[in-house]
Structure 1
């Protein structure tokens, strides 16, 4: 089933004859498996269309009518809940600011009633929830589904997030570092659909990265692969919450940038000052771009991606300056590789991690459909 689903996702609409050619499975096997998937509400037959030689054929695609996926992004200053169908269409999005709110108990006083309402509305409509995907600042202990010690996220150390959510909402639940969910949003729904090797970098209150190699998310031995925000950028720089000194996050995140500018306290004020040519603001953005340049050189040399995606709440400030950054970056890369690197804005803006949280469940469906569907009945 897995190979069939992955091919259908890749092509969006495909005939059984084409599936036989692409998978090497027999026509009988394809017929039986697709029949089962149609009966389960995963696939549907779309209107017959004429083939190249006039023969009519039936195209298979994902059925958007029955199953729903919920994505939950828990950030340092906000959370977002989205509902998607199996085609990746966002049906609902709810975002709440959480400035000044600290710790899981306080967060879930707001999240729980909101998520409960979303779940009840889906079920009242006669639809079935395939599962709940969650993005949250890591690192994460994946075996237990607990948070370890997320930098700049007080009160969450050791919190058994997966266990709590499964008990509270009775849904199949996957959790992942929010930078990796951002990468998964691109892998399944965005620019990464046609790219095998990419790095997604999310810049906001913190800085995180998600690495996709050969189409698969990479975690590393301790779940730290892609922690680009904790590369040393400033030798003997500020102490970071992670225990290192001079991390990119200490100088390149929103708090790190604003700490170097004394004329205001928000990104919007800084952006206005930059446009007005205020000297300290210009110095601040020049320093920020220099740190970003150094970080991207490191990312390119470490991971050798086809595509680097930049996103997060900080990105709108940086977006206006990327044209001047790209030539500087290319001058520091291997000559034979510099023209092949693409740097693009993330596809889904501030909803990137929430979309990627839903993508976790889509990836589960495509890779292990029998297991996921069996969990629906357990």
Structure 2
């Protein structure tokens, strides 16, 4: 069943005949499996369309009329809640500034009422909630669902996030590092639908990375795979909160950039100073782009991705420089690989992590649809 569902997701709309061709299953098996998926309200038949020789076919696609998924992004300065359908279409989004709050207790004073209200509204509208996905700065213990001293995120060390969410809101809950959820948003709903190997880099208060290899997210032995913000960029540089020295995050994140520029305390001010031709602002941006290019060439050589996707709250301030960054990278890549270089902006902008959190549940649905529906209906 999961193979059939995966093909329907991949092609978005596909006929039963095409499913036989793509899966190698018999027409009888395809008929039975698609009937079960329709009965479960996961897929539905779409209006018949004319085939190339005039024959009319019934197409199958995801049913967006029955299920909803909630995504929660817990960030260092904001929280965001999104509600999506099975296609990843954002139905509702709620964002709150958390810059004046610190630690789980103060955060949940905001998260609690918003999540409860969102859940109630979805259920009153007649939809079934498949579950709650949560993204949060890592690292974390995936066996317990507890956070493990995330850099630049005081008060969260050891916090049992997964258990807290499950107990308070009674939904199937999955949690993941925010950079990996961002990567999964692209994998399931965005640019990575037909890409097996990609790296998502999120840049904001911190810098993180999510690696998709062979279509699956990679965590590594200690959950540190993709921690690109903590590769050494400046020898003998500033000590990072992670314990390393000269990390990209110390010079390339928003605090790192503003810490190198004495002319103001916001990216908007830096942007305006650059427009005015301020020499120190121009030098700061030039250095920032050099650090970015150095990090990206390391990412390409280490992970060999088909695509690198850039996002996060810093990206809009770097977007205008993407063409020269691509050009410089091509000059530094292996000659046989440079023409395949793909660097793209994220699909969902500042909502990337929250949408990716919801995508955790969608991935669960594709792999084990019956089990997830059983858990969702029993929660």
TM-score by length of 2: 0.98
Match in the other structure for 1:367: 367
Match in the other structure for 2:263: 263
Match in the other structure for 2:330: 330
Deviation at 1:15, TM superposition (A): 1.3
Deviation at 1:21, TM superposition (A): 1.6
**Tell me, what secondary structure is at the counterpart of 1:72?**
strand
Provide the C-alpha distance between the structure 2 equivalents of 1:258 and 1:352, rounded to a whole number of angstroms: 24
CA contact (8 A) 2:230 2:242 kept: yes
User: What does the per-residue CA deviation read over 1:317-338, in whole Å, with 9 as the maximum and x for residues that have no partner?
Assistant: 1111222222222211111111
CA contact (8 A) 2:13 2:59 kept: yes
Deviation at 1:27, TM superposition (A): 1.8
Deviation at 1:52, TM superposition (A): 2.6
Match in the other structure for 1:296: 296
Match in the other structure for 1:86: 86
Match in the other structure for 1:114: 114
User: What does the per-residue CA deviation read over 1:124-151, in whole Å, with 9 as the maximum and x for residues that have no partner?
Assistant: 0111001111111001111111111100
Match in the other structure for 2:77: 77
Deviation at 1:186, TM superposition (A): 0.7
Match in the other structure for 1:237: 237
Between 43-52 and 158-167, the greater mean CA deviation after superposition: 43-52
Match in the other structure for 2:42: 42
Deviation at 1:30, TM superposition (A): 1.5
TM-score by length of 1: 0.98
Deviation at 1:26, TM superposition (A): 1.8
Q: After the TM superposition, which residues 184-199 of structure 1 pair with which residues of structure 2 at under 5 Å, given as runs?
A: 184-199=184-199
Deviation at 1:370, TM superposition (A): 2.2
Deviation at 1:37, TM superposition (A): 1.3
Deviation at 1:275, TM superposition (A): 1.1
**Tell me, what secondary structure is at the counterpart of 2:344?**
strand
Instruction: Could you tell me which runs of 5 or more consecutive residues in structure 1 were left unpaired when the two chains were aligned.
Output: none
Deviation at 1:313, TM superposition (A): 0.6
CA contact (8 A) 2:248 2:291 kept: yes
User: What does the per-residue CA deviation read over 1:17-58, in whole Å, with 9 as the maximum and x for residues that have no partner?
Assistant: 211121112222212221111111111111222323333322
Asked if residue 135 in structure 1 is aligned to residue 135 in structure 2, the reply is yes
Between 23-32 and 182-191, the greater mean CA deviation after superposition: 23-32
Match in the other structure for 2:274: 274
Distance 1:153 1:21, change over 3 A: same
Provide the C-alpha distance between the structure 1 equivalents of 2:42 and 2:298, rounded to a whole number of angstroms: 42
Match in the other structure for 1:307: 307
Provide the C-alpha distance between the structure 1 equivalents of 2:62 and 2:325, rounded to a whole number of angstroms: 41
Asked if residue 152 in structure 1 is aligned to residue 145 in structure 2, the reply is no
Structural RMSD (CA): 1.0
Q: After the TM superposition, which residues 97-108 of structure 1 pair with which residues of structure 2 at under 5 Å, given as runs?
A: 97-108=97-108
Between 160-169 and 25-34, the greater mean CA deviation after superposition: 25-34
**Tell me, what secondary structure is at the counterpart of 2:180?**
helix
Instruction: Could you tell me which runs of 5 or more consecutive residues in structure 2 were left unpaired when the two chains were aligned.
Output: none
Match in the other structure for 2:345: 345
CA contact (8 A) 2:87 2:189 kept: no
